[in-house]
């Protein structure tokens, strides 16, 4: 399928970039002219695999995606969850061989942007290059926060922290509000992301419900006590470096 500009797809990217930086009119127009190839994917489908050398970046338009790596005996570590507006394999522009895989967690629509077009864009617009750089720095900051979680936080704190993080990320791209957001992940996904077991995740979710902190039903997270959620997980929203923040 050939690539072509797609304003709707690029509106998603622009919204994401504007949640962490400011774009000029000219930069916005240039992004809108990026050629893309739209793909509709099933749930639990690999988008790019460990060892691949992709020639395009993947912009998430709808659904959730995760970065992961498979270990021996089928063990899986999820590194990050991605939502519409994210380009989880942006690094493939500069690091040519994938050192992990990228897969859908739900049915998803993605836009593939040729590397060549991305390179032309950042060469012509250094401001956009800076914003992409900023995005990867924030990405690294989120990894540091996850490292603190896996090294030093309890299961309860880790899960509470993840919920706070995903709510604010979704809110920044207008996909969450009123302390309610989609959370289309299984207990096994949460366990594989946070270094827990599905047994611990199930126990913690029950405890959170008993404390009227959050409920997670039918892939919807409802945060009933936002301030308390932030307090128990020592959550400081600054690390997400969002220009517009929902709360907290």
Chain positions contacting another protein, by CB under 8 A: 75, 195, 197-199, 202-203, 206-207
* CB closer to another protein, 1 vs 71: 71
Least Cβ distance, residue 116 to another protein (angstroms): 41
CA-based Rg of the chain, rounded to a whole angstrom?
A: 18
Six token digits for residue 52: 């691949």
Least Cβ distance, residue 49 to another protein (angstroms): 22
Six token digits for residue 215: 């409920």
Q: Give Cα 128 distance to the centre of its chain.
A: 20
Q: What are phi and psi of 37, to 5 degrees?
A: -120, 120
Q: What are phi and psi of 137, to 5 degrees?
A: -70, -40
DSSP state of 57: E
In angstroms, the Cα distances linking 100 to 8, 51, 89, 92, 117 are 29, 7, 10, 11, 23
Strands 4-5 and 65-70: unpaired
* CB closer to another protein, 158 vs 169: 158
The length of the chain, given as a count of residues = 248
Write down the residue that tokens 């946070």 correspond to: 194
* CB closer to another protein, 120 vs 207: 207
In angstroms, the Cα distances linking 124 to 29, 93, 216 are 12, 16, 45
* CB closer to another protein, 3 vs 202: 202
* CB closer to another protein, 12 vs 204: 204
* CB closer to another protein, 78 vs 181: 78
């Amino acid at each position: 399928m050939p690539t072509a500009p797609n304003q709707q797809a690029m509106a998603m990217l622009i919204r994401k970039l504007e949640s962490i930086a400011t774009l000029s009119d000219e930069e916005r127009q240039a992004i809108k002219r990026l050629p893309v190839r739209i793909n509709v994917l099933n749930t639990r489908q690999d988008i790019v695999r460990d060892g691949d050398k992709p020639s395009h970046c993947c912009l998430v338009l709808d659904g959730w995606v995760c970065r992961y790596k498979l270990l021996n005996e089928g063990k899986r570590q999820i590194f990050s969850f991605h939502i519409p507006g994210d380009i989880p394999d942006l690094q493939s522009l500069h690091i040519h061989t994938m050192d992990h895989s990228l897969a859908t967690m739900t049915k998803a629509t993605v836009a593939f942007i040729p590397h060549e077009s991305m390179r032309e864009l950042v060469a012509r617009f250094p401001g956009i290059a800076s914003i992409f750089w900023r995005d990867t720095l924030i990405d690294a900051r989120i990894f540091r926060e996850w490292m603190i979680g896996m090294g030093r936080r309890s299961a309860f704190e880790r899960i509470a922290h993840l919920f706070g993080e995903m709510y604010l990320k979704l809110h920044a791209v207008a996909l969450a509000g009123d302390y309610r957001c989609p959370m289309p992940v299984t207990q096994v996904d949460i366990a594989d992301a946070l270094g827990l077991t599905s047994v611990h995740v199930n126990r913690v979710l029950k405890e959170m419900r008993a404390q009227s902190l959050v409920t997670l039903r039918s892939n919807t997270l409802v945060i009933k006590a936002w301030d308390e959620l932030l307090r128990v997980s020592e959550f400081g929203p600054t690390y997400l470096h969002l220009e517009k923040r929902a709360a907290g």
